[in-house]
Chain A
Amino acid sequence: MPEAHAETAHQHHAPTKFIWKYIFSLDHKVIGKQYYFLALFSVVVGMILSWLMRIHLVWPNAKLYGLDLLSPAGAPGGVMTPEYYLSLMTLHGTIMIFFVLTTAPQSGFGNYFLPIQIGAEDMAFPRLNMLSFWTTFVALMVLLSTFFVTDGPPISGWTGYPPLSAVGSSAGPGEGLGQTLWVISIAIFCIGSLLGALNFIATTLDLRTKGMKLMRLPLTCWAWFVTAVLGLLSFAVLFGACALLLLDRVGGTSFFIPGGLIVSDKIMPHSGGSPLLYQHLFWFFGHPEVYIAILPGMGVTSHIISCFARKPIFGYRAMAYSLMAIGFLSFTVWGHHMFLSGMSPYSAFSFSLFTMAIGVPSAIKTFNWLGTLWGGKIRFTSAMLFSIGFVSLFVTGGLSGIFLAQPQLDPMLHATYFVVAHFHMVMGVAAIFGMFAGTYFWFPKMFGRMMNETWGKVHFWTTFIGVYCVFMPMHFIGVEGAIRRYSTWTDNYLIPMIPVHEFMTIAALFTGAVQFIFLINVFWSMFKGEKATDNPWKGTSLEWTVPSPPPFDNFAGKHPVVYHGPYEYGVPGKDKDYVMQDSPEKIEDDE
Chain B
Amino acid sequence: MRIVIYGALALLATILQMGLVPHVLVLGQGPTLVVVVVVAVGLLYGPTEGVWAGGVAGALTDLLLGGPWGLATLAYMAVGYVSGRFAWARGRVRAAAALVLSAAAAAAVRAVGIVALRAGGGHVWLPGLVPGPEGLVYTAVLTPFLIAVLDGRVGPSRRAAQTHET
Query: Do A and B assemble together?
Result: no
Q: Chain A interface (Cβ within 8 Å of chain B)? A: none
Q: Chain B interface (Cβ within 8 Å of chain A)? A: none
